[in-house]
C-alpha cells in the first residue's frame, strides 16, 4: 500500500480524497495555485506544494509541475479527482515514466472512451446497446442532412471531442440540420480544437441514468447500482439520486451487465461510470463512459456502504477487489444537490466573492456535506463556482427528499448569491416528488427562467409565526432594561401584525410553558425553540414538526429564508400596521439609461466610446467571469453619453459601464 499520495486537484474533491487517505493511514500532498494559497484542501493535507498562477492552465493543468511535486515530496501515487487532468492520457504516461502510480484506469481505457465516436464503436462491439446513428465523421452540411433523413428526425448532432453541452445541437428538419451542423462544428473547433461531428437519433422524454462500475487489475469487474441524473440545466447535472425511481430490477441488471462488459472490453481498472440514455419504455442506450470518479459518487456510497475512493486506491496498489457482485446490496435512498455560487433569479449568473457567513448543516446518518470551503473562503472567478455537494439519505425516496429540504433550510451562506432557493423549489416540485423526470424537466417547468414566485411555500405562516416569536423575545429583553423613565416604560401586549411581503398577518403571541403559542385566524402554531440572540438560524419545533428558518435583521424588521422562499417581515402593533399602509414607498432609481454589469467579472472588451450611435442588438462590451465571456448588447437604439469603466477593470455586479443620452 502507498505511504503517500498526491491529489492533483482542488476544492471539495481534494478534501474528500484526503479524508479517505487519512482514514487509511496514508499521508497526503496537496497542490495549489496562487488563488488557493489559503484554501481548505491545502491545510487539510500533510504537505502542500505551490504549482503556479491562478489560471488552471498555469497550475492544475501543468503536468510537469505536478510530476515535479511528486518527486519533491516522495508521493508514490496521484489521485486526479475529476476535471483538470483526470482523463488526460498524457498525464498518465508522464506519471508512468516517472515511476509514479496513477490512481485511475489505464491509458487504453482513457483514450478509447475519451473519443465519443471510438467509444460508441467499442460499445457496439462489446454488445452494449447504442443509439441508432452515424458514427463516422460527417463530411459537410449536405452529408449531415442525408444522414439525418436516414436516421429519422429528430437527430442530435454532437462533437466527437465534446463535453459540457458544447458542440451539441438537436435538429428537427433539413434547414435546422444544415444550420446546426455549422454551429456544432464551429463550437467544437473553438472549444476542443477538433471539429469532427457525428449524428445519432434524438431520444424523446429521455432520462440520464448511469451505472457505477468497479474493476481491478486481475480481471474482476462489478457494478454498484445506478444513479438517476436526469435533472439537468443546459446539460449540467443539478440533482442526482440513487437508486433511480424509474428502473426495475431486470432493467438494472441488464444495464449493469452491459456496463461491466464494456469495462472488460477496454481492460478497465478503477472506479468508472457508464452513462446511458433511457426512453419512456425503459429502452436504454450507451451515451459515454467517464473514466474517473464522478461528482455524484457519494449517493452510490450511501446506498451501498462502499467507499469508492478507498477502492480506487486499493486497485491502483494492485489489490484485487474486496467484494463480488453478490456482495453488492442497495439499501435506502440517497440524493445529492450541487450548491453553487450563482444567482438563479438572474439567469444563474455566477457570483464571486468572500463567504462572509458560512455554516453547513450538521452531518449525521442522514446528512453528508462534501465541501472545500469554510467561512472566510473566497469563490474565485478562475474555477467552477461550486460551494458544496449536499447529500442526504433516507429509508425511502420521500425521506431522502424531506431530509434534503431540511438540510437546505439549514445551509447558511452570506456574501455570495447561491442557488439554494432553486434546489428547494426543484425537490418540492410535485412532478419531482412523483419521480416523473426527464432531462427536459427544468426547461419544461421553468421555460421563462426561475423567479421568486416559482418557490413553493407549504405554509407561509410558519416564518410569520417564527418572526413574531423572535420579535417578542426582543421586546421582553427591552422590558428588562433597568432605570427606564416611568412614563416611557414599554407596555406589554399580545396582539401584533406581521407584514410579510406586503401581506398583513394579525397574530396573537402568548408565552406558555416550554414555548410560545402564535394564533392566526383561529389556527394555533405551538413553537418550542432554544434560539438565542445573535443566532442566524432559528431551529424550532412547530406543532410537533422540526423546522429551521434563517432569520436576518433587515431594515426595521427581518428577512426569513425557509423552504427556499425569502420573506421580508415587519412586526408592528395593530395601530402602527394601520399607519404603515399610508407610508410612501421610495421608488427605485431609473437605471434604464445605464449599461450595468450583470455579474462580477473582468471587462475584457469595450466596443464603443462616447458619442457613438448604437443599434439594438449591437455589442457594447464583453465581461469575463468563471472562464466564460459574456457579450453585453444594446437593448434599444441610442447614443453613448459617458463611458464609466475601462478595459481591464474588475467589475462588481450592477456596476455601471456606460450611460446613454
pLDDT in tens, 257-304: 999 999 999 999 999 999 999 999 999 999 999 999 999 999 999 999
Q: How far apart are CA 402 and CA 333, in angstroms?
A: 12
Calculate the CA dihedral of residues 317, 320, 324, 329 and round it to 10 degrees.
-20
Fold of 461-580: Glycoprotein, Type 4 Pilin (3.30.700)
Which pLDDT belongs to residue 534?
92
Alpha-carbon radius of gyration of the chain: 28
The DSSP annotation for 115-172 comes to SHHHHHHHHHHTT--B-SEE-SPP-SHHHHHHHHHHH-SSEEEEEEEEETTEEEEEE-
Q: How far apart are CA 450 and CA 447, in angstroms?
A: 8
Please tell me whether residue 366 adopts helix, strand or coil conformation.
Answer: coil
Which pLDDT belongs to residue 380?
87
Which pLDDT belongs to residue 627?
60
Q: How far apart are CA 124 and CA 102, in angstroms?
A: 28
Q: Where are the domains of the chain?
A: 4-103, 104-130+206-331, 132-201, 333-456, 461-580, 594-660
User: 594-660 is classed in which CATH architecture?
Assistant: Beta Barrel (2.40)
- Greatest extent of the chain over all pairs of C-alpha atoms, in Å: 92
The CATH number, out of the four listed (3.40.30.10, 3.40.50.620, 1.10.3720.10, 3.30.1490.20), of the domain defined by the range 132-201: 3.30.1490.20
Contact 480, 533 (CB under 8 A): no
Q: Residue 558 belongs to what H/E stretch?
A: strand 557-562
Pull the grid cell for residue 32: 495549489
Number of C-beta neighbours around residue 52 at 10 A: 18
Q: Report the alpha-carbon angle 150-156-157, nearest 5.
A: 95
Query: How many residues would you count in the chain?
Result: 661
Which pLDDT belongs to residue 255?
98
188 burial level (CB within 10 Å; 0-12, 13-18, 19+): buried
242-to-209, 211, 213, 247 alpha-carbon distances in Å:
10, 10, 14, 11
Q: Do the domains at 104-130+206-331 and 333-456 have one common CATH topology?
A: yes
3-state SS of 35-77?
HHCCCHHHHHCCEEEEEECCCHHHCCCCHHHHHHHHHHHCCCE
* Cα-Cα-Cα-Cα dihedral sign, residues 605, 609, 610, 615: negative
Instruction: Identify which of 572, 573, 566 has the alpha carbon closest to the alpha carbon of residue 552.
Output: 566
Catalytic residue numbers, as ranges: 288
Instruction: Identify which of 222, 212, 211 has the alpha carbon closest to the alpha carbon of residue 321.
Output: 222
Tell the CATH superfamily of the 333-456 domain. Answer: ATP-grasp fold, B domain (3.30.470.20)
Instruction: Identify which of 605, 615, 598, 601 has the alpha carbon closest to the alpha carbon of residue 660.
Output: 615
DSSP 482: S
Please tell me whether residue 647 adopts helix, strand or coil conformation.
Answer: coil
Which pLDDT belongs to residue 507?
97
- Enumerate residue ranges in the chain where pLDDT < 50: none
Calculate the CA dihedral of residues 565, 570, 574, 578 and round it to 10 degrees.
-90
Return phi, psi of residue 421, to 5°: -60, -45
- In DSSP terms, 215 is beta-bridged to 221, 270
Instruction: Write down the H helix ranges in 555-661.
Output: 574-580
**DSSP count for the chain of H helices, then E strands:** 17, 39
Q: How many Cα atoms sit within 13 Å of 315 on the Cβ side?
A: 28
Sheet of strand 77-79: strand arrangement? 47-52, 27-33, 4-7, 77-79, 101-102
Q: Does domain 4-103 have CATH number 3.40.50.20?
A: yes
Q: Assign residue 296 a region: left if phi > 0, alpha if psi is -120 to 50, beta otherwise?
A: alpha
200-to-125, 287, 606, 651 alpha-carbon distances in Å:
17, 10, 41, 43
Which pLDDT belongs to residue 617?
87
* Long-range contacts of 509-512, Cβ-Cβ distance < 8 Å, separation of 24 or more: 509/468, 509/469, 509/472, 511/472
Q: How far apart are CA 403 and CA 422, in angstroms?
A: 16
The CATH number, out of the four listed (3.40.50.300, 3.30.470.20, 3.30.70.20, 3.50.50.60), of the domain defined by the range 104-130+206-331: 3.30.470.20
- In DSSP terms, 412 is beta-bridged to 359
Amino acid at each position: 500500500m502507498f505511504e503517500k499520495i498526491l491529489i492533483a486537484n482542488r476544492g471539495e474533491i481534494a478534501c474528500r480524497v484526503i479524508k479517505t487517505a487519512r482514514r487509511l493511514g496514508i499521508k497526503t500532498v496537496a497542490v495549489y495555485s496562487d488563488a488557493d494559497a489559503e484554501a481548505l484542501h491545502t491545510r487539510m493535507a500533510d504537505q502542500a506544494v505551490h504549482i503556479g498562477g491562478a489560471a488552471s492552465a498555469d497550475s492544475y493543468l501543468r503536468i510537469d509541475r505536478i510530476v515535479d511535486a511528486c518527486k519533491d515530496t516522495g508521493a508514490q501515487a496521484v489521485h486526479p479527482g475529476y476535471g483538470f487532468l483526470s482523463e488526460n492520457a498524457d498525464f498518465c504516461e508522464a506519471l508512468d515514466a516517472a515511476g509514479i502510480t496513477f490512481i485511475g484506469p489505464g491509458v487504453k481505457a482513457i483514450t478509447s472512451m475519451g473519443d465519443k465516436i471510438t467509444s460508441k464503436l467499442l460499445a457496439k462491439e462489446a454488445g452494449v446497446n447504442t443509439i441508432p446513428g452515424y458514427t463516422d465523421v460527417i463530411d459537410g452540411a449536405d452529408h449531415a442532412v442525408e444522414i439525418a433523413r436516414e436516421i429519422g428526425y429528430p437527430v442530435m448532432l454532437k462533437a466527437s471531442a465534446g463535453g459540457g453541452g458544447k458542440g451539441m445541437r438537436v435538429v428537427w428538419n433539413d434547414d435546422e440540420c444544415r444550420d446546426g451542423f455549422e454551429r456544432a462544428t464551429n463550437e467544437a473547433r473553438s472549444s476542443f480544437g477538433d471539429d469532427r461531428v457525428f449524428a445519432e437519433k434524438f431520444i424523446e422524454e429521455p432520462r440520464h441514468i448511469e451505472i457505477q462500475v468497479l474493476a481491478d487489475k486481475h480481471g474482476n469487474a462489478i457494478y454498484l447500482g445506478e444513479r438517476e441524473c436526469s435533472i439537468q440545466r443546459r446539460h449540467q447535472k443539478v440533482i442526482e439520486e440513487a437508486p433511480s425511481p424509474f428502473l426495475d430490477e431486470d432493467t438494472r441488471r441488464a444495464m449493469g451487465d452491459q456496463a461491466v462488459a464494456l469495462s472488460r472490453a477496454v481492460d478497465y481498472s478503477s472506479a468508472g461510470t457508464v452513462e446511458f440514455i433511457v426512453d419512456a419504455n425503459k429502452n436504454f442506450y450507451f451515451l459515454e463512459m467517464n473514466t474517473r470518479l464522478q461528482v455524484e459518487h457519494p449517493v452510490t456510497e450511501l446506498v451501498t456502504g462502499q467507499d469508492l475512493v478507498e477502492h480506487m486506491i486499493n486497485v491502483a496498489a494492485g489489490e484485487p477487489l474486496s467484494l463480488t457482485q453478490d456482495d453488492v446490496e442497495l439499501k435506502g435512498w440517497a440524493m445529492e444537490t450541487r450548491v453553487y455560487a450563482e444567482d438563479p433569479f438572474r439567469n444563474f449568473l455566477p457570483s464571486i466573492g468572500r463567504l462572509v457567513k458560512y455554516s453547513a448543516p450538521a452531518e449525521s446518518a442522514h446528512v453528508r456535506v462534501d465541501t472545500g470551503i469554510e467561512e472566510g473562503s473566497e469563490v474565485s472567478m478562475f474555477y467552477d463556482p461550486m460551494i458544496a455537494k449536499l447529500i442526504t439519505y433516507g429509508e425511502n425516496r420521500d425521506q431522502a427528499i424531506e431530509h434534503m429540504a431540511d438540510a437546505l433550510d439549514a445551509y447558511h451562506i452570506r456574501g455570495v448569491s447561491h442557488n439554494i432557493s432553486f434546489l428547494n423549489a426543484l425537490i418540492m416540485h410535485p412532478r419531482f416528488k412523483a419521480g416523473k423526470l426527464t432531462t427536459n424537466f427544468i426547461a419544461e417547468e421553468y421555460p421563462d427562467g426561475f423567479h421568486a414566485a416559482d418557490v413553493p411555500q407549504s405554509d407561509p405562516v410558519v416564518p410569520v409565526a417564527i418572526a413574531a416569536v423572535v420579535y417578542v423575545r426582543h421586546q421582553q429583553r427591552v422590558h428588562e432594561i433597568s432605570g427606564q423613565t416611568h412614563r416611557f416604560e414599554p407596555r406589554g401586549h399580545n396582539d401584533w401584525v406581521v407584514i410579510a411581503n406586503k401581506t398583513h398577518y394579525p397574530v396573537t403571541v402568548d408565552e406558555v410553558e416550554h414555548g410560545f403559542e402564535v394564533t392566526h385566524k383561529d389556527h394555533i402554531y405551538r413553537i418550542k425553540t432554544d434560539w438565542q440572540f445573535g443566532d442566524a438560524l432559528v431551529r424550532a419545533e412547530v406543532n410537533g414538526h422540526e423546522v429551521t428558518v434563517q432569520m436576518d435583521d433587515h431594515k426595521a424588521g427581518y428577512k426569513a429564508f425557509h423552504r427556499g422562499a425569502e420573506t421580508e417581515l415587519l412586526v408592528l402593533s395593530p395601530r402602527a400596521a394601520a399607519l404603515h399602509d399610508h407610508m410612501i414607498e421610495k421608488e427605485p432609481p431609473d437605471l434604464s439609461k445605464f449599461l450595468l454589469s450583470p455579474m462580477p467579472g473582468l471587462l475584457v472588451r469595450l466596443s464603443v466610446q462616447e458619442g457613438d450611435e448604437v443599434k439594438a442588438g449591437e455589442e457594447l462590451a464583453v465581461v469575463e467571469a468563471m472562464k466564460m465571456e459574456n457579450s453585453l448588447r444594446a437593448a434599444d437604439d441610442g447614443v453613448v453619453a459617458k463611458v464609466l469603466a475601462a478595459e481591464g477593470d474588475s467589475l462588481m455586479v450592477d456596476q455601471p459601464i456606460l450611460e446613454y443620452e
